[in-house]
Amino acid sequence: MKKVITYGTYDLFHIGHLNMLKRARALGDYLVVAISTDEFNTGKHKQCVYPYSHRAQIVEAMKFVDKVIPETSWEQKIEDIKKYSIDVFVIGDDWTGKFDFLKEYCEVVYLPRTKSISTTAIKDTVQSGKSISSIT
Ligand code: C2G
């Protein structure tokens, strides 16, 4: 069984998140998703709309997600890779190079982000009264 892991905040779940999880799962047979806790997001200077418990449950409900764990620190990745016998670490290419140190433990894949959608864009669009289709 080829096991894949990815990390993220996954606030205001959108098509970019869905594309990432779908492609991540397609790289193996089992997908673990580490969702950033509210406390960890404070360190990332991210103020989430949805609390951790909602973000985790929404991602966990995805049919191609097998397990959700909390992301509480930048340093947990190596331990997670060992603990869950991970074969592939995958994340969006906005992080290209940042996690190359994990190549010692597993394959590292950076996937292209989905263009013109982001949690920030959604927040701005909602405030402007426009629809998302107007930005994708
Ligand atoms: N993503 C994407 N396309 C978008 C937006 C996001 O492919 N339009 C991807 C990101 O590249 C990431 C995942 O979806 O792989 C989750 O994105 P965020 O919730 O913004 O996560 P981030 O803040 O990048 O957290 O330790 C790593 C961090 O926790 C990553």
SS (HEC) of 76-134:
HHHHHHHHCCCCEEEEEHHHCCCCHHHHHCCEEEEECCCCCCCHHHHHHHHHHCCCHHH
Give, using CA atoms, the residue closest to atom 7 of ligand 1. 113
pLDDT class of 134 with cuts at 50, 70, 90: low
Supply the pLDDT for residue 129: 87
∠ CA 26-63-90 to the nearest 5 degrees?
Answer: 35
**Ligand 1 center to 6 CA (angstroms):** 9
Residue nearest to atom 12 of ligand 1 (CA): 92
Is residue 136 over pLDDT 60? no
Whole-model pTM?
0.95
Check if 46 is active-site.
yes
Give the whole-number percent of the chain exceeding pLDDT 70.
98
For 75-133, the pLDDT digits (tens) are 999 999 999 999 999 999 999 999 999 999 999 999 999 999 999 999 988 898 888 77
